[in-house]
A and B are shown apart, each in its own frame.
Chain A
Amino acid sequence: DTAVSQTPKYLVTQMGNDKSIKCEQNLGHDTMYWYKQDSKKFLKIMFSYNNKELIINETVPNRFSPKSPDKAHLNLHINSLELGDSAVYFCASSQAGTNYEQYFGPGTRLTVT
């Protein structure tokens, strides 16, 4: 069984569109994250979220909004897509008390044209 899954794997869209990426984890973890990996492979956290608290990275534009319908799901909605949003987006999860060890999904490659 896949531990952390993301859909879609690839997403090609035009500037100005709104899109969503879905993430699900079946590990029973209490915290989920969204990361952005740029073309130079630098991995940067965007959000972390658990049942009680959403922690927002101040450098993330407010066009990005995480939505968590339940503990096992954390979706990422992006409004008014820009060229600079092109990257690979990774969802991850961790469990409190485990030194924040991350379990990553396979990634979603977003290309904005």
Chain B
Amino acid sequence: TQLLEQSPQFLSIQEGENLTVYCNSSSVFSSLQWYRQEPGEGPVLLVTVVTGGEVKKLKRLTFQFGDARKDSSLHITAAQPGDTGLYLCAGANNAGNMLTFGGGTRLMVKP
């Protein structure tokens, strides 16, 4: 079973601060995805990283895939209240068509 551990589980910060969320595993993934989920809704895909060492930027969000494709990070610059939500990382295995999700990071950005 492939496991993904996210840290921190909870994060409460002030508007304008920077933060980083980590997603770690002992397993190698063919790709890794980040989702954001808001209360009462389903997760929404933010980005997919495929190549070891890959960095993708989405406005103030920067995503990085580890060189060995076992870990990933999400960095948010100058967080805003609209960034509040549950952030989930998910790894795709090589064998099948399934994703393994991390436990999630609940982010609250206070104005």
Write the residues of chain A forming the contact surface with B, with a CB cutoff of 8 angstroms: 4, 31, 33, 40-45, 48, 50, 55, 90, 92, 94, 96, 99-107
Q: Which residues of A contact B86 (CB under 8 A)?
A: 41
Q: Which residues of A contact B103 (CB under 8 A)?
A: 40-42
Question: How far apart are A4's CB and chain B's nearest CB, in angstroms?
Answer: 7
Q: A45-B101, A96-B97, A102-B43 are in contact. List 8 more A-B contacts (CB 8 A).
A: A33-B98, A42-B103, A90-B43, A99-B33, A100-B98, A104-B42, A104-B43, A107-B41
Q: Mark B24-36, 1 if CB is under 8 A from A, else 0.
A: 0000001101010
From B44-52, B54-62, B69-77, the one touching the partner chain is B44-52
Q: Which residues of A contact B98 (CB under 8 A)?
A: 33, 45, 48, 55, 100
**Given A41, A48, A92, which contacts B42 in the complex, CB threshold below 8 Å?**
A92
Query: In the bound complex, do residue A102 and residue B104 qualify as a contact, i.e. CB atoms below 8 Å apart?
Result: no
Main secondary structure of the interface of A (DSSP, over half): strand
Query: In the bound complex, do residue B104 and residue A101 qualify as a contact, i.e. CB atoms below 8 Å apart?
Result: no
Query: In the bound complex, do residue B92 and residue A100 qualify as a contact, i.e. CB atoms below 8 Å apart?
Result: yes
Query: In the bound complex, do residue B33 and residue A105 qualify as a contact, i.e. CB atoms below 8 Å apart?
Result: no
24 A-B Cβ contacts within 8 A? A4-B42, A40-B103, A41-B103, A42-B104, A43-B43, A43-B88, A44-B101, A48-B96, A48-B97, A90-B42, A92-B42, A94-B97, A96-B97, A99-B30, A100-B97, A100-B98, A100-B99, A102-B43, A102-B90, A102-B99, A104-B42, A104-B43, A107-B41, A107-B42
Given A43-B88, A99-B31; A105-B42 close (CB under 8 Å)? yes
Question: How far apart are A83's CB and chain B's nearest CB, in angstroms?
Answer: 22
Query: In the bound complex, do residue B92 and residue A41 qualify as a contact, i.e. CB atoms below 8 Å apart?
Result: no
A101 to B99, CA, bound (A): 9
B40 within 8 A of A: yes
Q: Which residues of A contact B40 (CB under 8 A)?
A: 106-107
**5 nearest A-B pairs in the assembled complex, by CB-CB distance:** A104-B42, A99-B31, A43-B101, A100-B92, A41-B104
